[in-house]
Structure 1
Amino acid sequence: MVWPFSRRQNGSQDREPEAGPEINSKASGKKYLLEDTKPRFANESQSQYANAQEQATLRKAWETVDWQDFSFERLVRIPCFRDAGMTGFTSMFVLGSVMFLYHKNPSKAANWSVGGLMLGSIVGWEQCRLRRKNSFHTAQMAKSTVAAKEKPMLHTPVNDDRVKKEWEGHTSASTAKKPWYKFW
């Protein structure tokens, strides 16, 4: 068996001979644990390689982030951003107004309005995401239903020649001259 992430190429000269005591203990019916066997692969080198790859990808990802990503034009392109903002600002206005009218304290009303903005934005974001997820799920179900549906027009119907002959003999000369409409 070849490990797909190993650096060695497939070849008979690269293979190491398997350990003899493991085969003998298997054949004699003795139980042995996985910890008793020697490892097939060098775990340290692969984990170091994975760490290097992870750091490289994080570094590359960080280099792609730009201040332009946080501009207003890019933020409004995010799905559900508008809905979350509208819900947040609405709850901010309502909660701030109610707290100001009740307590007559502007600082307390401002604190509650900021909390309303945060809470309203989160609620609006989650509601919008749930609606989008459900609509995508419905669309996927519709696509799979249409794909699984039998397409009758792809197969031409087989017509019987006897039926064609009977239909041709059905009309006569006397019925062909009669008009299709009738006056009293």
Structure 2
Amino acid sequence: MDYKIEEMTHKDWDGVAKIYLQGIDTGKATFQTEIPSWNDWNNGHIKTCRLVARLGDRILGWGALSPTSSRCVYAGVAEVSIYIGEEYRGQGIGKSILGTLVKMSEENGFWTLQSGIIKENIASIELHKSCGFREIGIRERVGKMSNGEWHDVVLMERRSDIVGIN
């Protein structure tokens, strides 16, 4: 498949939101229960590190970074979000997006990327490991789904080898 990894724009929101909803519907991609508005999503994510996998006018998947704190000492730390359209999972698109996001994050001064992944989301855990993330812990029964089911969250991080090493 000859897709391209490109910077996400506001025009991509419909495709991004559709894939986000597919993730919500799995019950293991996020604790989010509904799609936020573009403005809410836009305000909660870092402006420079947003990507889509695009094939023609179709969005196949997306990845973006969110700040972990407003405190200046954490300016180089961000949380990863990555979602792949259900019909495109398992085809290497996630690895392309996440690998590019890692590179872009370092170009923008980030020294640590972190992810909190629902424990049952094995594919996402393996994807993160394949891009240099390591498991640093598990938060037990930290998130409760709207159906009352509790989930553990696997904490993962990736430290840059080129940013923040001095």
Which TM class, normalised by the smaller chain length?
Answer: under 0.3
TM-score by length of structure 2 reads 0.21
Structure having the larger proportion of residues in helix:
1
Q: Which structure is richer in relative contact order (CA contacts within 8 A, separation 6 or more)?
A: 2
Structure having the larger proportion of residues in strand:
2
